[in-house]
Amino acid sequence: MAIDQIETFGESLIQHGPANNRVYLMKLKREDFPQIIGFINGLALLHGYSKVFAKVPAYARAGFEQEGYQVEAAIPGFYNGRKDGLFMSRYFHPDRLIDHAADRVHEVLQTAMEKKSNEPEAQPQSDIEQRLAIPSDSAQMAELYRKVFASYPFPIHDPAYLAGTMAENVIYAGSWENGQLLALASAEVDPEGGNAEMTDFATTPECRGRGLANQLLGKLESLMAQADIQTCYTIARATSFGMNITFAKNGYEFGGTLIKNTQISGTLESMNVWHKKLSS
């Protein structure tokens, strides 16, 4: 499957393409607002995409709402702990709003909420090595992602792509046992905005239930706190009991559900936004 492309409008960053059948405004620069709204709407109309999804500061809310966008999720203090961030969407086809997995999405969220706690972080088993990944790990990382995800919104099956992101703004943490990579997670850091997306979680099927994702999340959070990141967040598969429970149990707050937002393993899935303030 083709990977959606990334391009710029002024200083803003956009991803779009048929894989997710959407336009995603990943980063909005103030000088590009409000002209960028017409641009991303035009992309959707030109290519026939059924959704536009925009991650924007709260100041842009009224401008997007005037163009038919609605707030699907919100993160207080998303930008440097002071300014709220909004996840706004416009649907260009009514079918995109219909989620046939809605009952499971509700069940997963309800279960995660019931399991919210302040339990101590599980400690790694003595035979598990937890460390940050380096470029020479990229082939093994891509192999794990291929095993877990048949397809994904970004080209994480490509070792060169993974190595390239390490050189930019993504930190990967992994769990190894006897040299074999068992689990991965990453933090996509926005130093300017003071936030980090905790993402790309993957555990080999035979190792699920061992708490590896929980441990990697704790490791990445510690690194983010040391780097003066104010807010961590995730956009998690809304039908995944494991990932939603992991974030709920680690003190993350639910921010909203993005309907049929992201293509994973060949299906458009709804996603839950969770967020956590690391420092005041």
**Residues 6+ away with beta carbon under 8 Å from 26:** 6, 13, 14, 15, 55
Every domain of the chain and the residues it spans: 5-95, 102-277
* CATH dotted code for 5-95: 3.40.630.30
Residue 221 banded pLDDT, cuts 50, 70, 90: very high
One fold for both 5-95 and 102-277? yes
Mean pLDDT, rounded, for 255-277 = 96
pTM score, whole prediction: 0.94
Gap between the Cα atoms of 153 and 2, Å rounded: 10
Give the span between the Cα atoms of 144 and 205, in whole angstroms.
10
Which is nearest to 89 in space by CA: 25, 152, 15, 20? 25
pLDDT of residue 123: 60
Residue 49 half-sphere exposure toward CB, CA atoms < 13 A: 27
Closest by Cα among 62, 19, 59, 68 to 40: 68
Tell me the pLDDT band of 125, cut-offs 50, 70 and 90. Answer: low
Give me the CATH topology for the region 102-277: Aminopeptidase (3.40.630)
Please compute Rg for the chain using Cα positions.
18
Tell me: the pLDDT tens digits for 132-191?
Answer: 999 999 999 999 999 999 888 888 999 999 999 999 999 999 999 999 999 999 999 999
3-state secondary structure of 225: helix
